[in-house]
Amino acid sequence: MKYYRYKDENNITCLLCKHYCTLKEGKNGICGINYNVKGELVNKTYSHPSAVHIDPIEKKPLYHFLPSSSSLSIGTVGCNFRCPFCQNYSISQTSSVDESVIYTPKDIVNIAKEHKTESISYTYNEPTIWYPYAKDIGILAQEMGIKNVFVSSGFESHEVLQDMHSWLDAANIDLKSFSHDYYKKVLKTDLDGVLESLVEFAKSDIWLEITTLIIPEVNDSEDEIHKMAEFISSKLGIDIPWHFSAFHPTYKMLDTPRTPLESLMRAKEIAKSYGIKYVYLGNIQNDSSTYCDKCGAKLIDRSGFSSTVLNMKDGRCLRCENEIKGVWK
């Protein structure tokens, strides 16, 4: 795809995310890293990652996608959100690019091959804003039989969402709140845009899981959890895993307390009441194993970020042959 269009003879419109920023010559968009350079969109982070690590796939978190496998995870700098609770704010809330660090798409895929990772994850900061780099890596990875994963806040443009179908295998999308005011006033984006993206992901062949960071006095009310659960169950599907993660004080929210286990358990009960089959709690000690929704057999045993497949083969429960949705090989 082409990542921009001409608005007029002096300005271009960036097509990477739903902000659709209009860029004058030499100016950047909201993300801080995409510029209009002589009438073309130039991504300043291309081939300049800020982080390259090998992680367990469970850390994304993805629980129904190649369990117990490893993923080469990369990120750059910049973001199209302004989350005051961002755990990676040191890279997401800066536009300073270290151009001395150079990893071409081929370099990244070679690292994945060398370490025998089954996937490459585009994560740490919002990968939508460096989609040209991610896609070039992803196409090479696909040719080598390596799968591709997006960890995103879900504000992809419609153009990018359509383009993803050709190379992306899985995504974990944040649903940070169900308040339009919170998305607009605090996160500086738009809830409807995220909901639209979630619907498009759910309709596609890209495996989808959802994460909600539960923050005390922000998005932990029963009313808000009910609204999220109703949307997921009615618009996306009850087979999509939903992860509730515990907040810990960071960045601009150092005075906000940690999320109590009781809040997470209440959120899980509400989600289950809407028929959502697979609800997991993260960033806190608890049972995060996967159970058959039909007979209750433990299918995947998890401890921290490690997992072991027990009573499941080819996506079916060995006890009752119930199909468990996911990508298992």
Q: Where are the domains positioned within the chain?
A: 4-42, 44-288, 291-329
Q: Give me the residues of the chain with pLDDT under 50, please.
A: none
The pLDDT, as a whole number, for residue 256 is 98
φ/ψ (deg, to 5) at 272? -65, -30
Closest CA to 153 of 95, 76, 81, 240: 81
Q: What confidence tens digit (pLDDT) does each residue in 18-52 have? A: 999 999 999 999 999 999 999 999 999 999 999 99
Question: What element of type H or E holds 302?
Answer: strand 298-303
The pLDDT, as a whole number, for residue 304 is 87
- C-alpha separations of 194 from 47, 65, 208, 225 in Å: 27, 22, 14, 16
Residue 94: CB atoms within 10 Å: 15
Report d(CA 315, CA 234) in Å as an integer.
24
- The DSSP output letter for 291 is E
Q: From the DSSP assignment, how many helices (H) and strands (E) are in the chain?
A: 8, 18
Cis peptide before 260 (omega within 30 of 0): no
CB contact at 8 A, 178 and 224 = yes
Report d(CA 130, CA 95) in Å as an integer.
12
Q: Which class is domain 44-288?
A: alpha beta
- C-alpha separations of 72 from 49, 108, 122, 186 in Å: 13, 8, 9, 31
- C-alpha separations of 320 from 129, 238, 311, 325, 326 in Å: 44, 19, 10, 15, 17
Question: What element of type H or E holds 132?
Answer: helix 131-143
3-state secondary structure of 25: coil
Radius of gyration of the chain (CA): 20
Residue 225: CB atoms within 10 Å: 24
Q: What confidence tens digit (pLDDT) does each residue in 215-258 have? A: 999 999 999 999 999 999 999 999 999 999 999 999 999 999 99
Report d(CA 150, CA 142) in Å as an integer.
14
The residues facing 11 across adjacent strands are: 24
Residue linked to tokens 């072991």? 308
CB contact at 8 A, 133 and 79 = no
